[in-house]
Structure 1
């Protein structure tokens, strides 16, 4: 079959290339002309996405995958249209849907009788039916008669998208039962894995928000336990490991907040006034406060931060993936700077320009600092002589065996973990 994937970014590109590798003709659609040209030359714009480079070369060479800026034309040749346009939050913390709206309006111009449209981007509950389906109807076609609409949330981790496409059950929900059945049949044919068909698009939308809110609230609990552990001089990692030895406990890892496209964003979709949202709001409050909490701990240990040279290492939102959306490294920079520290940034995955875009002064040297904060523990940081970098190392994600740091002569401070004496 012919498939159009609208939005060829961190999710859309590996999704499109994987479908093409199954023998389907796939048209990628994106408004970024330079990106389109690169992909059509089989140049991989996401080198840290496992397996993508090889798959992309294969499908471009086979001719099963082509990318275009002409969305309506690609949709006109397709039986299925997948929307993978990123949705963020605006200045008020509400879902910013403008780019997805534009994509839907453009795709509507090319809809053919019987086309199945599936929205793959996480959305506030009700958005598929109330906001997106009407935009697809704008050219005069009737929902449920001339075309069908379903929602199926991505359940993927950047860096391993291709693996995750078949690792977990695919959740789908249609705006009507026929759309849900068609979407479920499509995913069974394309990926061959388990498909969970829910009763409605709204149910599928809420299922994805439930996943994100659960993780955010779980991390908030872990962070509060860490703060309690600090009061009593307890190592919270020992506490969590003990609690999680009971099969009904799955407490996550505390740290300096939550970053990325997903967890800090999706709970806010529940906080838009369309139902109770006290717990998601509380989780956001706790996690958003963690950078300041950890910086205050470091300030106490150093007897103040004014004039202190601080190095923040690993500026991406998680290790070994060059993505900086909502990275807490920026929050750490703000907290240290407001206390008078002189802050530098280092990340092997970013250019100096990329480091500066986040507000940091880049440094090639990793020595002679008063304090080092490891925000994302990239693989390339393994084996560093931490004691030569700074006398105090803050493990912002509790990612280290503290002895690795202490054996190099540095003091260690984790989140909810006692500092080295």
Structure 2
């Protein structure tokens, strides 16, 4: 309830408390000053006794003080006040000023709609009698006037109560709407608080996911670059250890030195999250061609590279992923297959790019290969993870004694 509503309620309390006294005083004053004209207010003792009774009744009923609940006590008060007002109006019609008090507080003191209407009708009898010339009613003409005024008064009461009911209903509707808006605002605030908490939680999860993804990226880069480079260096040094030919030693030491430099460069690029060094100055086909040729020379294996379809510039992430998959597939072939021939094919197929690495080595049974992620390796799982990060896939076809084929398919996303 706002300040204006509280002020109105205070005024209503004051009127219901002191209004009957004021109206009784007005009626008494008019009755006394016009007693010679109306011939009323006789005998004086009866009128005085009724006025005292009216004041006593108001004192008994007491101040309203914000009470708005009809009760049996209120009904008794209303009935006694009506009886006193009727008697006073019978003595002098100007006491109808006191009688109209019944119009203002019927719904405040009488419970039940039917009883309230009966109270209003009873009050209208006194008012109509006063308006028709006073009571008792005499003669046909006065009775006709009284009946007409009674009908008019009740019609006005009906219209007034109808509008009052509509206004009260609108007030209730407004109160219900305000209450609903308050509930909605509370629910909205709660939802906003929950969203803020969820947003904070998502930020934490995104941070953790970013850290985990960066760890996986670095681990994969280390496996694909540094680890393979170190493995190549070890292979070259083993040849040097087992050879007495100075030319062979010199050649393999140079190769080991070159692998060490390349591995160091790849390590720096991995930390800085840069693309592979092979793609720094060359597009994917040229980088793959050089990678296959270098791998074949290091392993002493016949390695061929083929491009099919119309070559298109690819997104940096697509090129880096396919190059890393090719490097991993070649590394696996060098370590495990014992192949004498390896073929690498890069195919541009409309909205897809395919990379196939095939060898004629000893092969294996794909169903008997356990995931290596638990031991720190990546291998096939690493290739699949790389392809899946760019909505691609990796399939492996192998059979013991009949070689291995690794095929990677990724979307063709053009550069820029």
Range class of TM-score, shorter chain: under 0.3
Larger fraction in strand: 1
TM-score, length of structure 2 as denominator length: 0.21
> TM-score normalized by structure 1?
0.21
Question: Which entry has the higher C-alpha Rg, 1 or 2?
Answer: 2
Structure with greater contact order relative to length (CA < 8 Å, sep ≥ 6): 1
In terms of fraction of residues, the more helix-rich structure is 2
